[in-house]
Amino acid sequence: MVTILEGGTVQPRLPAVRSILHGFAQRTGLEGEGAAQRRYLWTDAFAVCTFLALYRATGEAGELESALRLIDAVHGTLGRHRPDDVRHGWISGLGEVEGPAHPTRGGLRIGKPLPERSPLAPFDERREWERDGQYFHYLTKWMHALRCAARDADDPRYLAWAIELARAAHTGFVTRPSRDGPLRMVWKASIDLSRPLVPVQGAQDPLDGLLTLRELRDAALARGWRQEEVALDGAIADLRALCQPAAWGTIDPLGVGGLLHDAYRLAQLDDDGQGDLAWLPLLVELGSAGVTAIAQAGLLRRPAEERLAFRELGLSIGLHAARRLAQRVERGTLPEAVTGPLERALALLRPFVPLAESIEAFWSQPQNQEVTTWREHLDIDAVMLATSRLPAGFLEP
C-alpha cells in the first residue's frame, strides 16, 4: 500500500480523488444502469490509471473493478465503428465472436464528436480537431493503461491487448512510401488505419512510442513470454530511427510535462544496449528550459479563463515524475555516465518542481472550475487533476 506522495501523505487526498473519478464515471455512463457511453481515449487512459492508484492506496476491490469496467467500456465503444458510420462492428474487421477477444487489433477511435473526414473532403485544420480518427499518442496512453491494469489485476490479457494495439499502431502510423525511401510517421490516421488524416509527424510521438513499446516488451518478458511471442523489436527499431532529439523542445505545458514523464520512464527501463539512456539528461534539460520559459512568460499567473487546466495538469504530472527521478538519482541506481549531467539538469529544474502543487491548488478552487475553459473540457480537466493529485498509478512501473 502506498503511504507517501509528493506534498504529504496520500490519505487526505483520497476522498477528493475518489469524488472526482466517480463524478466522471457518472457523467460518462460508466456508472448507472443503461447510461449512454461517452468515451474519450486520452481521458479514459488517465482515469484507468488513477482508479488503479486508488486501488493501490486503499486495497478496495471496487476501485479495481471500476478500472477494468472502464477498459471494457472503451473497447466496446472505441474499438467499434461509430453509430453514425455506414460501417458497423469491430474496427479490426473481426466478427462478433472473435472481436471481443481481440478488441485492440484494429486500434481504437479517439472519441471525437464529429465523424472522420471523408477521403474527398478538403482539409480544414480547425474542424479536424473535432473529427474522429486515431491518434498515435492516444494509443500509447491506452497501451500504458492496459499494462498498468495487467500489473494490478495480475491478468496477462490486458498486456496481450496492449501489445496487439502496439502492432496495429506501428502498422497504421509508421510507413515507408517506397522500398528505399525513408521511414515516415503520421500524426492522425483514419478510423480503420487505412490512410493518413494529418500526415505530419508529431515531434514527441516516436519517443513516446519507443518508450511505451519498450515498457510492454519488458513487462511481457518478465512474465516469461518469448521474444518471438512479443514481436515488437522491429517496431521499436523503427521508432528509435524516427526519433529526432532536436525537435523535442517545447514550451507547451502538456508537452513539457510529457518530456519529464518520458525522462522518468526512460530511467526505469532496463538498458537494452541501444544507447537510449544517453537521452536522459537532454530530456530533463529540455523540460527545465520549457518550464523556465512558461514561468518567465507568466502563463501560470493568468486568470483561470485564459488558461487550459488539462495542459497545465500535464505539466504538474511531469513535475511529479521529475521529483521521483531525482529520488532515483539520489539512490544511485543509474549508470555513472549519465548521473553527472542528469544531476546538473535536475538542479536547474528543482526550483520549479513545487509548481505541481501550485497548479493542483489553483484548479482545485471552486471558482476556477466555474470558468468556461474548465467546463468546456470538464472530463479531461477533472481526470487529470485527479491523476496529478494521486499519480502513482500512472507514473510507477
Domain end, chosen from 229, 247, 265, is at: 247
38 within some domain: no
Cα angle for residues 331, 334, 339 (degrees, 5° grid): 95
119 within some domain: yes
Helix (H) or strand (E) holding 5: strand 4-5
CA distance to 86, 313, 328, 395, per residue, from 201 (Å): 29, 24, 32, 26
145 within some domain: yes
Helix (H) or strand (E) holding 255: helix 253-268
Cα angle for residues 244, 147, 278 (degrees, 5° grid): 30
User: Distance between CA atoms of 261 and 322, rounded to whole angstroms?
Assistant: 7
State whether 118 and 192 are in the same domain. Answer: yes
Number of domains in the chain: 2
Cα angle for residues 168, 169, 174 (degrees, 5° grid): 115
CB 364 within 8 A of CB 304: no
pLDDT at 6: 45
pLDDT band at 219 (very low <50, low <70, confident <90, very high): very high
State whether 229 and 335 are in the same domain. Answer: no
State whether 208 and 287 are in the same domain. Answer: no
List all residues 6 or more positions away from 144 whose beta carbon is below 8 Å from its beta carbon: 45, 49, 162, 212, 215, 394
Residue 100, all three cell numbers: 471481443
Model confidence over 297-338: pLDDT tens digits?
999 999 999 999 999 999 999 999 999 999 999 999 899 889
335 CB-contact burial (10 Å; exposed 0-12 / middle 13-18 / buried 19+): exposed
Question: Taking phi first (over 0 means left), then psi (-120 to 50 degrees means alpha), and beta for anything else, what does residue 33 get?
Answer: beta
pLDDT at 7: 45
Range of the domain at 316: 251-397
Domain end, chosen from 247, 267, 292, is at: 247
Q: Give the E-state strand segments of 128-232 in sequence order.
A: 134-135, 174-175, 184-185, 188-189, 196-198
- Nearest Cα neighbor of 108 from 172, 57, 56 is 172
288 within some domain: yes
394 within some domain: yes
CA 4 to chain centroid: 23
State whether 218 and 316 are in the same domain. Answer: no
* 54-67 average pLDDT score: 97
CB 277 within 8 A of CB 312: no
CB 194 within 8 A of CB 263: no
* 108-137 average pLDDT score: 96
Domain end, chosen from 215, 247, 279, is at: 247
State whether 264 and 232 are in the same domain. Answer: no
State whether 128 and 188 are in the same domain. Answer: yes
State whether 242 and 291 are in the same domain. Answer: no
pLDDT at 5: 38
* 147-160 average pLDDT score: 98
Q: Has residue 168 got a pLDDT over 70?
A: yes
Using CA of residue 348, residue 351, residue 353, residue 358, what is the dihedral sign? negative
State whether 375 and 263 are in the same domain. Answer: yes
What is 97-148 written as a DSSP string? TTGGGSTTTT------SBPPPPTTSPP-HHHHTTB--EEHHHHHHHHHHHHH
State whether 167 and 192 are in the same domain. Answer: yes
Kindly state the DSSP code that residue 299 receives in the 8-state scheme.
G
State whether 200 and 256 are in the same domain. Answer: no
List all residues 6 or more positions away from 25 whose beta carbon is below 8 Å from its beta carbon: 31, 47, 66, 70
* 150-165 average pLDDT score: 98
Q: Give the amino acid at 294.
A: I
State whether 140 and 156 are in the same domain. Answer: yes
pLDDT at 54: 97
State whether 358 and 231 are in the same domain. Answer: no
Model confidence over 70-97: pLDDT tens digits?
999 999 999 999 999 999 999 999 999 9
pLDDT at 244: 96
* 3-32 average pLDDT score: 80
